[in-house]
Amino acid sequence: MLIKLLFASWNVRGLGRKQKRDDVRAAIDTFLPSILCLQESKLSSISSFFASTFLPPSLRSFVFKPSDGASGGIITAWDASLVDLVFHSIDDFSITTIFAFRSDNLLFSVINVYGPCLHAQKSLFLSSLEHILSTLSSPVSVLGDFNLIRLPKEKSNDNFNTPFVQEAKRLVEERLTLEAKLRQLQEEHNDSLREVDALKKSLGQLEQKAETAAEAKERLELELTKAAEAKERLQQEAADR
């Protein structure tokens, strides 16, 4: 059964104020995502009751990374009627979650990132993300606020780090290549399964025909036996005369 998931990512820039939580809840209610990734919650702890002030009932399952003082904080929430959480881990810049569809147990991963603002930590952030991606074999979505600038025109000054941007681009392209290979392998696997199913079906049909032939042979042998017995009786009667 095909299930479509709606992903949403949002840097909410703080959930401490009630009015902000009300606004976030109202916005989420308008599109009700299946997987929700929030960044910069600025919350050091989140109880289930507190989460209900900004998460709708369908997204009350969640994991979070506490803020560091008044900065940071990551939340990943999901619709538990659609997916089950299989595994999750939290590191300095992200939350990694592995989910299984409740319909068929198919696995997929979501990495919710909040990249560092300090330039000195950005290489560490990319290295960490690359390591996490290398450990995941299931399809993966990376969402969040990377705090990265892709193009010089996005900068307000001329201080644009080209090598660093190229490294980020390389990481994305390598993952896309891997994803394409995984999809190809999955398609080949599905084709093989379809061929196996077709062979099983053909084998079943052959077995059925063989059973039918065996039954026909048995009936023929029975008829031949009866005919031989009848011939023998007729010959005996003729001899008695």
Residue-range domain boundaries for the chain = 7-148
Angle at 74 between CA 34 and CA 108, to 5 degrees: 40
What's the CATH architecture for 7-148?
Answer: 4-Layer Sandwich (3.60)
pLDDT of residue 205: 86
Q: What is the mean pLDDT of each run of 10 residues along the chain (241 residues)?
A: 84 96 96 95 96 96 94 96 97 96 92 90 87 88 84 56 66 63 68 82 85 86 84 79 68
Please give the pLDDT value at position 157. Answer: 53
Angle at CA 80, nearest 5°, toward 76 and 84? 85
Nearest to 38 by CA among 23, 26, 55, 50: 55
Residue 95 is predicted with a pLDDT of 98
